[in-house]
């Protein structure tokens, strides 16, 4: 499990709400005017208090799909997508329906996560309705009798093949004599081209060298510039967050003096 994911989960559990408090806040939210300061405050409190529901739903989704690994790099992206699903569920929650928030929120969280996986997790884009029909056929062996799902088996089979095409090394074609990677044009080589992020790091290193900052603190500053989080940067250089915060403030002051 990555440091960023651990940090996210730790923060998610700090303001956890129980079921009764969540329902009371939802009732209060339904009586407030949308866009008001009190509405925004109550809305954010409900979302922050149910972030562990997002984590639990994403973890379940990862365990259900063999291609996903809970704790990997994709987990943070899924948590972000699930967060937006939770906000939609809170906004659309109807207090007159006698049900818990989790009953409404879990489908929305899963829907946003599946949409993210469809858009960014597969090598080939497949329409969401076709993707759902493909997973239903893969699990049950029959096409789902739903209005938005395609009724053509050939289309569903094509979607299943696209889902499995998660690597450019996968064989394709009627005789499977070539790979997906071989079908793509070769990118133009640009060995001397630096990204904007790389240029900022080089400029930062030059300023720190002029300021006479020690190498370990330079590594800490580069990690902090890369992640924007003191705790993550401290972990990268094996330093406590409290000491890292002091070192970063001192280094910034030194850099400002020579800039």
Distance CA 250, CA 208 (A): 11
Q: Residue 131: how many CB atoms within 10 A of its CB?
A: 22
pLDDT of residue 196: 67
Distance CA 32, CA 228 (A): 36
Domain ranges within the chain, ordered by starting residue: 3-121, 124-165, 196-258
- What mean pLDDT value characterizes the chain? 80
pLDDT of residue 3: 76
Work out the percent of the chain whose per-residue pLDDT is above 90.
Answer: 20
**Whole-number Cα distances in Å, 133 to 41, 130, 163:** 39, 5, 12
pLDDT of residue 26: 92
What is the average pLDDT across 31-46? 91
Task: Indicate whether 185 pLDDT > 60.
Answer: no
134's CB contacts (< 8 A; 6+ apart) are: 126, 156, 159, 160, 163
Contact 131, 156 (CB under 8 A): no
93: left (phi over 0), alpha (psi -120 to 50) or beta: beta
pLDDT band at 109 (very low <50, low <70, confident <90, very high): very high
Does domain 3-121 match CATH 1.10.601.10?
yes
pLDDT band at 182 (very low <50, low <70, confident <90, very high): low
pLDDT band at 66 (very low <50, low <70, confident <90, very high): low
Q: Worst-scoring range by mean pLDDT, 125-139, 144-158, 181-195, 231-245?
A: 181-195
pLDDT of residue 242: 85
């Amino acid at each position: 499990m990555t440091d960023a994911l651990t940090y996210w989960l730790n923060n998610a559990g700090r303001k956890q709400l129980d079921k009764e408090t969540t329902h009371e806040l939802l009732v209060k939210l339904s009586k407030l005017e949308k866009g008001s300061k009190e509405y925004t405050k109550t809305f954010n409190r409900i979302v922050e208090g149910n972030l562990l529901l997002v984590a639990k739903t994403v973890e379940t989704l990862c365990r259900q799909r063999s291609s996903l690994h809970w704790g990997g790099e994709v987990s943070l992206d899924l948590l972000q997508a699930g967060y937006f699903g939770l906000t939609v569920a809170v906004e659309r929650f109807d207090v007159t329906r006698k049900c818990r928030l989790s009953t409404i929120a879990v489908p929305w969280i899963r829907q946003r996560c599946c949409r993210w996986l469809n858009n960014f997790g597969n090598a080939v884009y497949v329409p969401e309705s076709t993707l759902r029909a493909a997973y239903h056929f893969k699990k049950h062996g029959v096409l789902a009798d739903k209005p938005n799902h395609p009724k053509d088996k050939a289309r569903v089979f094509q979607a299943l093949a696209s889902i499995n095409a998660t690597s450019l090394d996968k064989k394709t074609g009627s005789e499977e004599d070539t790979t997906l990677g071989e079908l793509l044009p070769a990118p133009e080589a640009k060995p001397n081209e630096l990204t904007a992020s790389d240029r900022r790091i080089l400029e930062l290193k030059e300023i720190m060298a002029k300021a006479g900052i020690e190498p370990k603190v330079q590594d800490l500053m580069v990690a902090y510039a890369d992640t924007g989080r003191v705790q993550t940067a401290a972990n990268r250089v094996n330093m406590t967050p409290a000491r890292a915060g002091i070192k970063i403030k001192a280094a910034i002051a030194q850099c400002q003096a020579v800039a």
